[in-house]
Amino acid sequence: MKLSTLALPLSLVAAVAVAAAVTFLLRAAPSSGERKVADSPTAPMNDFKKPDAATLRAKLTAEQFAVTQKGGTEPPFRNEYWDNHAPGIYVDVVSGEPLFSSLDKFESGTGWPSFTAPIAGTELVLKSDRTLFMKRTEVRSKLADSHLGHVFDDGPADKGGQRYCMNSASMRFVPVADLEKSGYGKYAALFAKAGATSGSASASASAAGTETAILAGGCFWGMEEILRKIPGVQKTTVGYTGGTTANPTYHAVCTGETGHAEAIEVVFDPAKLSYEALLGYFFRMHDPTTLNRQHNDVGTQYRSAIFVTSEAQRATAQAVKSKLTAAKKFSRPITTEITTASRFYSAEDYHQKYLIKNPDGYNCHILRSE
């Protein structure tokens, strides 16, 4: 088996990734890795101001300061919100001014958080930007004049065709469940209208209304690429589970001596996607009849397995497996292991969303028709 995309049109994203990283390094001091967030108010937020320079220095991390005040660009795929799928709003990290909603967020494949439009009523400042040897349109917040990112005309056509490609470091995310207590209660109506929640009182229940599945079926790169696109799936994480070694690394797992399988942790909304339906996809995206093998990938780390997190999941998994066997969907016996889930270890960062970062990367999975 296998042994980066904001301020540009999609066709030029790869070329600018290195330039963006160099630009950032020239403009920013090393970050402490900690994200500084202002205390949440209890009163409605309506007085959005830019603090003085000294306060800003104390409030923001080096990365946040470099991006918002110096026009820097953070690295693609190595930022806080590029893969955030939780419901909520994004506000200016400097002033708290509301900017974007998760309802308008989409996967652009660039490695930066992308939106089709700002929140209705939000005024952004657009400026011509001719750096990096091309003409682009810079996006800045109106009240704090923070550099946010750039906007392009290669977004989803059915949503207006715009792609607001933003820096995570220029924003702070406020989850739906925290809108009221953070002073952004009026924006809860956006999510109530969209069916995400009926208001702040039920926001926590809505956020908790998910289920987790852990599945293994060969190389986790290809499996994740299929799983993350299934309607109802909210988050996917590739990693290792089912073994005996604590904190395994990719190279250790590849030896076959840790006992772990390459697996995907799938967080999904059971109101939109049942566990049974998810398993239906699972059995269609890999060959469950080859013991400890998927195509050219051989070893116990590539075994077919369902790691159940409850007895209800176990019963469903066994029923689905039995149904497929009875229907003779496969010419050979199904070898898929159904076992109790043990600790799941997230894989190294470069493995996460690998085929988004590397579109031509190794992939031996396809989704067969039913």
Residue 26 pLDDT level (bands cut at 50, 70, 90): very low
- For 123-157, b/e burial (b = at least 16 CB within 10 A) is ebeeeebeebeeebebbbbebbebbbbbbbeebee
**Could you give phi then psi for residue 187, rounded to 5 degrees?**
-80, -10
Instruction: Say what the pTM is.
Output: 0.59
User: Cβ(263)–Cβ(344) under 8 Å?
Assistant: yes
CA 28, CA 65: separation in Å to the nearest integer? 8
pLDDT one-digit tens code per residue, 131-141: 888 899 999 99
The pair of structure tokens assigned to 326 is 């009875």
Residue 205 pLDDT level (bands cut at 50, 70, 90): very low
pLDDT one-digit tens code per residue, 34-80: 455 444 444 456 678 899 889 999 999 999 999 999 999 999 988 99
CA 199, CA 180: separation in Å to the nearest integer? 9
User: Cβ(96)–Cβ(41) under 8 Å?
Assistant: no
- For 225-238, b/e burial (b = at least 16 CB within 10 A) is bbbbebebbbebbb
The reported pLDDT for the residue numbered 196 is 60
3-state SS assignment for residue 336: coil
The pair of structure tokens assigned to 301 is 């780390």
Residue 97 pLDDT level (bands cut at 50, 70, 90): very high
3-state secondary structure string across 108-166: CCCCCCEECCCCCCCCEEEEEECHHHCCEEEEEECCCCCEEEEEECCCCHHHCCCEEEE
Non-local CB neighbours of 134 within 8 Å, separated by 6+ positions: 8, 12
User: Cβ(349)–Cβ(249) under 8 Å?
Assistant: no
CA 171, CA 99: separation in Å to the nearest integer? 8
Higher pLDDT, residue 6 or 284 = 284
User: Cβ(35)–Cβ(80) under 8 Å?
Assistant: yes
- For 313-341, b/e burial (b = at least 16 CB within 10 A) is bbebbeebbeebeeeeeeeeebbbbbeeb
In the predicted model, what is the mean pLDDT of residues 110-126? 95
Domain locations along the chain? 10-207, 210-357
pLDDT one-digit tens code per residue, 321-368: 999 999 999 999 999 999 999 999 999 999 999 998 888 889 989 999
CA 201, CA 333: separation in Å to the nearest integer? 49
Second CATH level (architecture) for the domain 10-207: Beta Complex (2.170)
Third-level CATH fold of 210-357 = Peptide Methionine Sulfoxide Reductase; Chain A (3.30.1060)
The reported pLDDT for the residue numbered 107 is 85
CA 218, CA 341: separation in Å to the nearest integer? 17
Active site residues: 165, 219
Q: What's the whole-number average pLDDT of the chain?
A: 86
- Which whole-number Å values give the CA distances from 295 to 1, 313, 363, in the listed order? 10, 28, 10
Non-local CB neighbours of 251 within 8 Å, separated by 6+ positions: none
The rounded radius of gyration (Å) of the Cα atoms in the chain is 22
CA 263, CA 240: separation in Å to the nearest integer? 6
